[in-house]
Structure 1
């Protein structure tokens, strides 16, 4: 079949050449040259490069050109004792024309050839090398057979290398150190390729080297199952009824978020088991299918996550003060404040979710709580926490958080409740609760409207306790009766908010370094001074000073625009080995540990993630965990997401999580990781290697 196909293509090429004789007469449309990597010692093997440079609009072909075309072929004339190896082609591109799939290069490319210098060559000798090259140059309309007598030399000895070979070698597919497996399916072939779950992949395509196995032009399907990539190919129309002994080829990984090439891998698959299921990938596959059950579970998970956020130290004080203010005000307009507070919370959550989806659609790798990876936002949060703490401490009155405010008065009302809802949702994101990362992660694979429903459910869960207080008088009656104790309670609530301030100050140091943290703290001191002056004016019956709002806006602008300039650049915070001797997470480190057959515990954390730090203190950084992991030879990898890190964000998304914490357990011989609960215990971690 291969001979017949090539004969047909050659006849077609000659016919098209006659039609395009005017263009042919202008000279070669792909210029070829022969280059040596560097001088070489006797018996040493170096690389030669056949550099192919197509004119604009023309292209050459890969070793298997696909449904049409011919690759470059070489007939060597070498010095006695010299030898060459197999041609090494870079990762190709696809070109579909009139139902025919072509494997091509529309840009300059180099075919590398191993060349071994004769063992008896004398140093200083210049070895002449000649190759008769033939290839097919095509546009989308015509094809022209071209040829050239290529000449080059290799000097026997030592000397500098041609720097271009580094780039040409990087364009070659990386050989996979493990075999894949393949099995027949109703439509064709399913191929399982070992491929780390954390490895980036764009719009993949599998270029098969064998002929008569697959239909090149039929769509290919890709899915990921943990550390396995599954490729589905359609059988060729003239395929042999017998299964091939192996299937080999090059998997192009496509392009990344910024348009950069992700390269490719070369592998061979043998008959074996191919897992079912997985998460679909690839351009043209459309939105990832989802069921109503998936959406319902994601919404319920977000709702529960929002409810749990109410007991976190950065939210509970605000909720408590608003609830007591509502109880003191009685039933007058309670439902109005409940709705307004809910609207503020849901609007903030949906706005953050929409911003995350928009940034991801634009190619920026971000996840939930992405704003906490921005030094300007953290500085602003620090100032807000300081302002709330000062209010709780009684330094000044903030109408929306005042116990004295009542519904319908100038100090309270729906506007204050709405603003408080916005504030509560904004400051809640550092206190990531259980179930929330998984629920928001599910939103990333849903259509936009469904994802927004998940974010709305998160906000609704956060606002639900206050909403119920607003609409159910019996719940308000369960609250303690108003009295002098409320002022003492308010001041007590300054303690957890003060701890939040300290935590944000520590985060500022971890996120941007000492200079940035010092700048943020200096602004916080100015905020306190401003609020003290405002409080003095309020106690004297002068109301809020006219310069209070401009002063607040100036300090906020300084926090957002100036302090980030003091932050130390670079993604990720410093990783501390701790008791488990953890190493920084990377795809290479994960692949290396997996290749060695060792169990791996990979966890992803951030300094602003409260539940992450609780798990680390209570379950991970424990002597019992250390001893169990050491006995089992577990490799521990930690991904620090304190600062924005596109690689970690991409890995989280591939695991179905939009944020941290994420805990993965890779058993020594299992193909896919186990996703662990978001709430860990010391006993659970100690028993993990035994399972």
Structure 2
């Protein structure tokens, strides 16, 4: 037997061994009596057999199959005897057993003396492989009892027997439900139409249109607006029709077209693109019930009146009191930011500078003031730029500059350059000392100012406690109120060094200048190198290995330029032209990093479906997936993170990767969704804004019922476990 023959034989064997599961197109769904053809017979007076012929591409649930006598002529002996089913994880009921092809169930018991036929109520439920589940179905079957041999009864014989017993209907809907609709179910796109239009700068109109014979649930929906400066308010649903539904009991539904006004809460006045995403659910009257459907419509919001924008969109209380509280929160957040590891390398430089001032109180005050000036100017500039870009319609939040790969690469090279300076490869400012004492002080002031700028840039990956609420308030407030909030945050970051510079008792605690300072200076180069490595890791996540390669080439060229500068600094500007050429190469390499496309993320492809995952394992976040899970009544834990967010990574390492978190998820039956804001993502920005956040991390727990709960920025195991346990109740 040649190789091709063996391969063909292997394929044939695999095909024979594989379970048969025919694909069913949603447009070709069978009526329930054809998908699950039921018949019954009595093989003997005390044994009734119920047989379902299940069409290909359909399955029955074991736990939703039952039989009950309907006329008192038969007394069951125990439960209905069902064979073991196939284990299956179902999107509607979780871990279940199902039947395909055929099901034979047996009800043993005793028939009444003299009875010639018995009547049963048979209930069952099944689904099609396309993801459509039929509602619970009920049939009334009458089975003739044999005197000796078994007498089989098909549908025609059953109808005749029912007629003899007084005309009991063979197929009977469940109590309280509407009559069945004739015909095969429509595809969901035809059964339910969705439209959205802009009616005002701050209002949309949503229109849902069920086809005749279909209805839409009022309370099983989720509406989200994706826009950089707007979020969805509360939809204004009109009155609905009370209805007893086979799936959810007493509900409110719409049988006809319904129009729903949707207010928009805007924090940006400019014209902007937007998407409205609606997730909803509906059923065929007396027929199938569709799984949650998600539709997205792209819109463009017109400019809004700036006077109509209010801080009440984010802050529940307005007025001078709220403004002062926000300033205090911003100040405290800035102070706490000094304790975060992202700021440590730059603060080490500042400590060295203050120690170098020695006994000179005036020098210490100058350094503290110039450092504070650099911090305040940087906070104000970042805040003003972010507000301006959001007003222009861009989906940006706090830390937006680190979403740009070119900025990340440039920062990494800055860290390398500073590290080389501390390591002694180049000494900035030495050539200016001969010009005079005034220029020496000016050079020192510029260095202190630049240190403050650098502290702000590297601090934005961290979000300290109290910062989140203050930033959210500022991003929704008018600029005249927002800028003081950014300045208060900067003042908090600079406050420890202001105190050292102006409080003699604190300044006197600094170590005395000495030979140790050179060793300490060289040691400080290594935290800067590690910061550069971290930034290159972020760059790899954003733009892949090619970007890291360009950045590393840029680092080598930068080192060469600094080495050349150190040797040519005394030979005039002509000799320094090679240095300028090398600097141009560095700029060109950084620009090349910005142009690279993002890599394909493997986790997004692996998590594209809702396959079961191990407890504690996250699936990629999307508005559609979140809405579908909420429609199922699941507890959901959402983690909005970014690779450049130091606070995010610390929480994931210490809390969200632990056994306690995984156990709490499993206990609550919770789904874990993770959104990645490493790059600009308008959908995630809109989600952040909808929860009063303008940056990451953001942790939200959605309970089975009720409003979502936002967790603190810095997590503890106890906080997360308690929130998940409460959500599952």
Fold shared, TM-score > 0.5 on shorter chain: yes
Distance, in Å, in 1 between the alignment partners of 2:707 and 2:344 is: 39
| 1:261 to partner: Cα distance | 6.2
CA contact under 8 A between 1:600 and 1:667: conserved in structure 2?
Answer: yes
SS class of match (2:560): helix
Partner of 1:291: 319
Aligned to 1:416: 447
Q: Which residue of 1 aligns with 2:329?
A: 301
C-alpha distance after superposition, 1:126-160 (max 9, x if no partner): xxxxxxxxxxxxxxxxxxxxxxxxxxxxxxxxxxx
Structure 1 CA distance for aligned equivalents of residues 515 and 691 of structure 2: 52
Structure 2 counterpart of 1:470, from 476, 488, 501: 501
1:167-220: per-residue Cα shift (whole Å, max 9, x none)? xxxxxxx9864438xxxxxxxxxxxxx535x5447999xxxxxxxxxxxxxxxx
Instruction: Give the corresponding residue for 2:245.
Output: none
Closer, same or farther: CA 246–201 of 1 in aligned 2, 3 Å? farther
Q: Which of these two proteins has the greater Rg computed from alpha carbons?
A: 2
State the distance in 1 between where 2:403 and 2:391 align: 19
Query: Out of 458, 464, 480, which is 2:489 matched to?
Result: 458
**Comparing 567-576 with 476-485, which one deviates more in the overlay?**
567-576
Give 1:86-97 correspondences, 5 Å limit.
91=195
What is residue 249 of structure 1 aligned with on the other side?
A: 258
Alignment counterpart, residue 426 of structure 2, candidates 388, 396, 399? 396
- Secondary structure of the 2:712 match is coil
> Over residues 592-636 of structure 1, what are the superposed CA-to-partner deviations in whole Å (9 max), with x where a residue is unaligned?
111111111111111101111111010011122112211221110
Q: What residue in structure 2 maps to residue 195 of structure 1?
A: 222
Report the CA distance shift for 1:288/1:685 in structure 2 as closer, same or farther (over 3 A). closer
Counting only pairs closer than 5 Å after superposition, residues 145-164 of structure 1 correspond to structure 2 as none
Give me the whole-angstrom Cα distance separating, in 2, the residues matched to 1:656 and 1:600: 19
2:356 aligns with one of 299, 310, 328: 328
Alignment of 1:30-49 (within 5 A): none
Measured after TM superposition, the shift of residue 686 of structure 1 is 3.4
**Partner deviation per Cα, 1:568-594 (whole Å, 9 max, x = no partner):** 267998699886121111111111111
Conservation of the 8 A alpha-carbon contact between 1:202 and 1:253: no
3-state SS in 2 of match to 1:395: coil
Q: Kindly tell me: are residues 558 and 642 of structure 1, through their superposed partners in 2, closer, same or farther at Cα, counting changes over 3 Å?
A: same
Where in structure 2 are the equivalents of 1:198-213 lying within 5 Å?
199-200=225-226
Q: 1:379 to 1:287 in 2, by over 3 A?
A: same
2:708 is the counterpart of 1:689:
no
Deviation of the 1:314 alpha carbon: 4.1
| 2:591 corresponds to | 561
Which stretch of structure 1 is more off in the superposition, 483-492 or 324-333?
324-333
Which residue number in structure 2 is paired with residue 341 of structure 1? 371
The partner residue of 1:179 within 219, 233, 240 is 219
Return the match for 1:439 from 435, 448, 470. Answer: 470
Change (3 A) 1:660 1:264: closer
Give 1:266 deviation, angstroms. Answer: 8.9
- Structure 2 counterpart of 1:675: 710
- CA separation in 2, counterparts of 1:534 and 1:175? 76
Change (3 A) 1:351 1:266: same
**Match of 1:239?**
none
Report the Cα offset of residue 489 of structure 1.
1.5
Which of these residues, 317, 339, 342, is aligned with residue 311 of structure 1?
339
- 1:399 and 1:640 map into 2 onto residues whose CA distance is 42
**How far apart are the structure 2 equivalents of 1:362 and 1:113?**
40
What is the DSSP-based 3-state SS (H/G/I as helix, E as strand, rest coil) of the residue aligned with 1:598? coil
Residue 644 of structure 2 is aligned to residue 608 of structure 1: yes
Q: Deviations over 1:4-50 (max 9, x none)?
A: xxxxxxxxxxxxxxxxxxxxxxxxxxxxxxxxxxx99999xxxxxxx
Whether the 8 Å CA contact 1:249–1:267 is kept in 2: the answer is no
User: Per-residue deviation at 1:682?
Assistant: 2.7
For residue 454 of structure 1, report the CA deviation from its aligned partner.
1.3
Residue matched to 2:670: 634
Q: Given the superposition, is the C-alpha separation of residues 42 and 344 from structure 1 closer, same or farther in structure 2, using an over 3 Å criterion?
A: closer
> So what's the TM-score if we normalise by structure 2?
0.58
Go from structure 1 to structure 2 and tell me whether the alpha carbon gap of 1:381 and 1:89 turns closer, same or farther (over 3 Å shift): closer
The 1:584/1:543 distance shift into structure 2, 3 A limit, reads: same
Evaluate the alpha carbon distance shift between residue 651 and residue 584 of structure 1 in structure 2; reply closer, same or farther with a 3 A threshold: same
Match of 1:262 in 2: 276
Structure 1 residues 672, 478: CA separation in 2 closer, same or farther (over 3 Å shift)?
same
Contact 1:572 1:640 in 2 (8 A): no
- Partner Cα separation in structure 2 for residue 634 and residue 112 of structure 1: 32
The answer (yes or no) to whether the contact 2:366–2:445 under 8 Å persists in 1 is yes
> Does the 8 Å CA contact 1:388/1:497 hold for their aligned counterparts?
yes
| Partner SS for 1:332 | helix
Query: Any conservation in 1 of the 2:701–2:724 contact (CA below 8 Å)?
Result: no
Secondary structure at the residue paired with 1:642? coil
Which residue pairs with 1:663 in the alignment? 699
Tell me the TM-score normalised to structure 1 length.
0.61
Look up the SS of the partner of 1:554 in the other structure. Answer: helix
Would the alpha carbon gap of residues 585 and 484 (structure 1) be closer, same or farther in structure 2, given more than 3 Å must change? same
Larger mean Cα displacement after TM superposition, 429-438 or 246-255: 246-255
- Figure out how many residues of one structure are paired with residues of the other and give that number: 490
What's the offset of the Cα at 1:455?
1.1
CA distance 1:598–1:511, change in 2 (3 Å): same
Cα–Cα, structure 1 residues 455 and 523, in superposed 2: closer, same or farther, change >3 Å?
same
**1:623 pairs with 2:659:** yes
Offset at 1:428?
Answer: 2.2
Q: Secondary structure at the match of 1:636?
A: strand
Deviation at 1:377, TM superposition (A): 0.7
Q: Deviations over 1:73-96 (max 9, x none)?
A: xxxxxxxx999x999987476889
C-alpha distance in 2 between matches for 1:293 and 1:639: 35
Kindly tell me: are residues 470 and 452 of structure 1, through their superposed partners in 2, closer, same or farther at Cα, counting changes over 3 Å?
same
**Whole-Å Cα distance in 1 between the matches of residues 625 and 478 of structure 2?**
33
Q: 1:514 to 1:578 in 2, by over 3 A?
A: farther
Offset at residue 263 of structure 1 (A): 7.4
Which consecutive residues of structure 1, in runs of 5 or more, have no partner in the other structure? Answer: 1-38, 44-80, 97-102, 116-173, 181-193, 205-221, 234-244, 269-280
Contact 1:95 1:104 in 2 (8 A): no
Where does the alignment leave 5 or more consecutive residues of structure 2 unmatched?
1-26, 32-181, 239-251, 283-300, 313-317, 608-612
Does residue 654 (structure 1) correspond to residue 690 (structure 2)? The answer is: yes
> Residue in 2 aligned with 1:506?
537
Name the SS of the counterpart of 1:665 in structure 2. Answer: strand
Q: What SS does the aligned partner of 1:608 have?
A: coil
CA–CA distance in structure 2, aligned partners of residues 642 and 202 of structure 1: 16
Alpha-carbon distance in 2 for matches of 1:531, 1:292: 52
Q: 1:266 to 1:477 in 2, by over 3 A?
A: closer
